[in-house]
Structure 1
Amino acid sequence: MIRLNDIKRETRFVFGHRQFISTLLVILLLSTAALWSGHAEMQEQRATIERLLEKDRIEREAALAHQKNFGSAAYYTFHLTYAPPSPLAFAAIGERDVFPWKHRIRMLALEGQIYESDTDNPELAFLGRFDFAFVVSVLLPLFIILLLYDLKAKEREAKRFDLLNVTATDSHAVWTTRVLVTLVLIVLATLVPFVIFAAINNASVGSILAACGVVLGNVIVWTVIVLMIGAASRFATFSATHLASIMLGIWLLSIVLVPVVGHTVVNATVETPQGGDIVLTQREAVNSAWDKPVYDTWAPFVATHPQWADYTEYDPERDSSFNWKWYYAFQQVGDQMAEALSRDYQLATRQKDELAGYIALLSPSLLTQRLLSDIADTNVDAMVGYENRVREFHASLRQFYYPLFFKTPEFSPARFEQLPQFAPTIKTTSQEHTDEN
């Protein structure tokens, strides 16, 4: 049984070692630096969104003010779509480094616009960003190993191990108390800065507790690994240095080998269309429409939009004026031609993520990163969900413009007051709400 005197004694013992104090300070500084870096990045993304929203509004109003028909109005106006960072995105940036989180789209064929990515170098992103999730999953296990690998071996080498066991009222309480004191201080050095930054970013209590639970779980898992190796009978005669080598080998297995091999296996298992192929397919369909008979455009369009079948009269040889409804019809057909590839791409992305989730069960560090990304809403599901919201918004633009193209009402700028506006969603731990920016 652990007594208060045991806790006081072991606290004085651990604080009596400069190495322990230095390690705690390093953990505190690394955690704070990673959180500050993530916070600054998310603040920059929010500022970018606010700046682009204002410019987008001004440019759209200026473009609409100079148009004389609905077709040119649709062609020259852009619409900003974006995925705002969640309150906890600063802690686990996740897939926001891999997937685009903003687009400026028009009424033209959409798939080519979606897959024109403006993200950072994907190879560099794969190596991992220095954020709180990286510190917790990759660096924190190293500090646990550093502080606990020689828990008993050091006492054996100093010839104090048997004496401690004989003189202590409960020998198990000595080691248990020392471990608990060490872990509590490690957890505090890691989580106190996180809680402060989470409060600054207005994160919900539920999400903060969930993230703290993941961090605590990661600490417990690595502590168990270290203590099991230190207590194993086959390692009883090993020196502290040899034990540290074994533990570092397991750390490397978790941090490097499992993720790299898993990534290779997933890519080899799941066949994925290239985003460039989707863009090329869509653009070839659009560009070739200029040289095809008009019927070759109308047929696939009417097949998916039968409500406009009676409004497709247009003969380019007879009608000298440019026909906007025909133009937007073959833009839509371009998307239809790329639809299967786009669907397969998204399905493959989800399959890869699902397989990666199973592989993460073999690596505590990888699992920790995935769980933190899930809580922060920066995972694959969140970014694929953003892509689908862009598609839904583009569909709402088509619903707005098609009656104006096909029924050719008199042009009136007042109609643009009903122009759809993109509204992103921000997921929290308890609900999903819409941010009307």
Structure 2
Amino acid sequence: MSTAVMDSPSISKGSWADWLRELGFLSRDKTVLAAIGLLFLLSAVSVVVGVLRVDAQTQDIAAMISADAADRAAAQAPITDYGDAGYYSFYVTYDAPKPLAFSAMGQRDTAPYLKRIRLLALEGQIYHGESPNPLLAQIGSLDISFIAAYLLPLILIVLLYDLKASENTAGRLVFLQSMPNVWSKLWAPRIVWRGALVFMTIGIPFSVGAFISGASIGEVLSGLAGLLLTTVFWTALVSLIAMRAWSAASIAAALIGIWLTLNVLLPALVQNLVIPTIEGPAGADISLVQREAVNDAWDLPKSATLDPFTALFPEYAIEEKLKPFDWRWYFAFQHMGDVAASDLSSAYLESIRERDRIAGLTAVLSPALAIQRYLQRLAHTDVTAQLDYDNAIRNYHAQLQRFFLPLIFGDADYDAEVIKGAPAFNGD
């Protein structure tokens, strides 16, 4: 980057003139304009892509809700028994995107945001198809969080790495350093203007996307605060190195090394060396245990299922002798399948939380992880949000049980209008 030529009369002007002079130099610096233009273009594209993806997910959810109701109505039309209704009726659950989801897609890239469940054993339904897209998990999305984490610091390196070295190469450094108040008159305006331009270049597209998506003022300001803090950190770090009495090539190499270490190598080491040491079952293991418990129940005496079930739900005790197949026994062993997998499920959730906690500790040392996790938290696309969705599914399944089981275990005649009163998923 070629830095604007400084002349001695301009150094002696007042403070406002110093800042305006530097802004004028920036407006004519082709390197600055190219770097800022590239960052703005990528930020704008990421916002457009993110808003369109979130809109597509919103439409998918709306379409699924509509199709789910029609499918359930068709499935229930010939039904004459509450047990059949519980077995054949599917109910949609969804994780609706929040306004800032466009800026940090997070877990929405790799985890389902739509699932249809029914009254059967739940754990297998939750973890069915949980495997993430490995390519997306590796490279992430081109969203604001990615740009702020990886591209923003590179742009600042381009704009500031030869802050001092270029003046030394041009033979002006000794003269400039002999001038009074050189920091406030020269270096501070040059550093601050570049940092401010970078912040505005990513902050403006983010703000536009946030308002289009319906984010609140508080959410927008919180997101801008994270972007500002990231910009200030990298501006200060790059400027600190750039002010060293080194060659431009040495400074650039040092800054790229720092960027690689903080943003790539450290997270990779934690991901590949530390997190794998946190042992825990996989979702497939939970599904397998639950499925085996359900399948084994077919070959066991009915009392092996009903005794532990009625110990949990004494109100559903059965006095009469059951037929070879009875819906009450069937849904009892479905529930006991979930009970059999409950310890494994708890261990799985604990391992996920622990891995996320370790990643959070790493974020203290990695600015890239820090801003990504911060924006994902604001956007409700982080690991916690995904676990909250799974818990919402569990709560909803429990609501369906409280609705259906009294009907299945009761002796009232089947009424199709009653089934239509089944609770709908509301995300809680």
**TM-score using structure 1 length:** 0.92
1:123: how far off? 4.6
Q: 1:339 to 1:118 in 2, by over 3 A?
A: closer
Structure 1 match to 2:304:
296
More off after superposition, 110-119 vs 390-399: 110-119
Q: Measure, in 2, the Cα distance between the counterparts of 1:2 and 1:180.
A: 17
Pairing 1:10–2:22 present: yes
Query: Contact (CA 8 Å) 1:46, 1:84: kept in 2 or not?
Result: yes
Q: Taking structure 1 as reference, are residues 94 and 212 closer, same or farther at Cα in structure 2, changes over 3 Å only? A: same
Match of 1:359 in 2: 362
Aligned counterparts of 1:280 and 1:383: Cα–Cα separation in 2: 22
Is 1:107 aligned to 2:119, yes or no?
A: yes
Structure 1 position 272 matched with structure 2 position 284: no
Q: Does 1:249 align with 2:257?
A: yes
Letter in 2 for 1:294: K
Equivalent runs, 1:411-422 vs 2, <5 Å: 411-422=414-425
- 1:181 matched to 2:193? The reply is yes
Equivalent position SS for 1:117: coil
Q: Does the 8 A contact of 1:74 with 1:106 survive in 2?
A: yes
Secondary structure at 2:116's aligned position in 1?
A: strand
Measure, in 2, the Cα distance between the counterparts of 1:172 and 1:413.
Answer: 79
**Paired residue secondary structure (2:188):** helix
CA positional deviation for 1:98: 2.8
Q: Contact 1:137–1:365 (CA<8 Å) still a contact in 2?
A: yes
Q: Look up the equivalent residue of 2:381 and give its one-letter code.
A: T
Identity of aligned residues (%): 38
> Which SS does the other structure have where 1:273 is aligned?
coil
The letter for the 2-side match of 1:251 is W
Contact 1:298 1:329 in 2 (8 A): yes
Distance between the aligned counterparts of 2:64 and 2:419, measured in 1? 20
| Partners of 1:314 and 1:323 within 8 A in 2 | no
Shift of 1:417: 3.5
**Counterparts of 1:260 and 1:169 in 2: how far apart (Å)?**
44
Match of 1:349 among 349, 352, 377: 352
Is the CA contact 1:95–1:379 (under 8 Å) kept in the aligned structure 2?
yes
Question: Residue 20 of structure 1 aligns with which residue?
Answer: 32
> Structure 2 regions of 5+ residues with no counterpart?
1-12
Within 5 Å, which residues of 2 pair with 1:246-395?
246-309=254-317, 311=318, 313-315=320-322, 319=323, 322-395=325-398
Structure 1: gaps (5+ residues) = 426-437
Query: What amino acid sits opposite 2:205 in the alignment?
Result: P
Tell me which residue corresponds to 2:230: 218
Tell me the C-alpha RMSD between the 2 structures: 1.6
| Alpha carbons of structure 1 residues 229 and 293: separation in structure 2 relative to 1, 3 Å | same
Give the whole-Å Cα distance in 1 for the aligned partners of 2:419 and 2:276.
49
Separation in 2, partners of 1:56, 1:171: 66
From the superposition, tell whether residues 312 and 121 of structure 1 become closer, same or farther in structure 2 (CA, over 3 Å): farther
Among candidates 393, 404, 422, match of residue 407 of structure 2: 404
CA contact (8 A) 1:97 1:119 kept: no
Please name the residue that 1:432 is paired with. Answer: none
Provide the rounded CA distance (Å) in 1 between the counterparts of 2:102 and 2:338: 35
Partner AA of 1:111 in structure 2: E
- Whether the 8 Å contact between 2:400 and 2:422 is mirrored in structure 1 is yes
How many aligned residue pairs are there? Answer: 416
CA distance in 1 between partners of 2:31 and 2:276 (Å)? 45
Instruction: Note the C-alpha offset of 1:392.
Output: 0.4
Aligned-partner residue type, residue 412 of structure 1: D
Query: What code does the residue aligned with 2:330 have?
Result: Y
Contact 1:100 1:119 in 2 (8 A): no
**1:431 maps to which residue?**
none
Q: Which residue of 2 aligns with 1:239?
A: 247
Deviation of 1:172 after TM superposition, in Å, equals 3.7
